[in-house]
Amino acid sequence: MGFFDDDPFDSIIKEFFQESKPRTSSSRDVVKSEREERAIDYIEEDDKVYFVFEIYGYSKKDISVEAGKGFVEVNAKKKNLDGVQSYLAGKLEKGIKIRKNIPNLKIKRYSWTFNNGILEVEVETK
């Protein structure tokens, strides 16, 4: 048994990168069969839909967002690894892809903001 066998931060790292549970709220059902790996909030109002993603470790220039009929897709891949801890570098360089399928979602336009690891996508619906 080694000194680091009972590392209390191991569970935090696992939760942060792999085992977080989705949070969704909506008057319309989200596709239930999708396996969420990151916490996502889904909020629907009159003619707008909001998605809030937790994407820590990336900067705004590392992220791209695309929205179309029935989906919102987020891609993040770390481009500059200067100052990144070695245990995180591989994960951030590999990147993530999150695709949220929403049946009957018709998009008029969308915009997004990213601050402190929180990505907010605002979708104006038809």
Render each residue's pLDDT in the chain as its tens digit; 126 residues.
455 556 666 666 666 665 444 454 444 444 443 344 555 788 888 889 899 999 888 999 999 999 988 899 999 998 888 888 887 888 888 888 999 888 888 889 999 999 999 999 999 987
Domain total in the chain: 1
Instruction: Name the DSSP letter for residue 18.
Output: I
Range of the domain at 36: 9-125
Give residue 39's pLDDT.
59
Give residue 86's pLDDT.
81
> Is 119 within the bounds of a domain?
yes
Give residue 74's pLDDT.
94
CATH number at residue 100: 2.60.40.790
> Is 3 within the bounds of a domain?
no
> Is 106 within the bounds of a domain?
yes
Give residue 11's pLDDT.
65
> Is 34 within the bounds of a domain?
yes
Strand order in the sheet with 96-101: 63-68, 71-76, 96-101
> Is 4 within the bounds of a domain?
no
> Is 1 within the bounds of a domain?
no
Number of helices followed by number of strands (H, E) in the chain: 2, 7
Give residue 26's pLDDT.
46
Burial class (CB in 10 A: 0-12, 13-18, 19+), 9: exposed
> Is 74 within the bounds of a domain?
yes
Give residue 87's pLDDT.
78
> Is 117 within the bounds of a domain?
yes
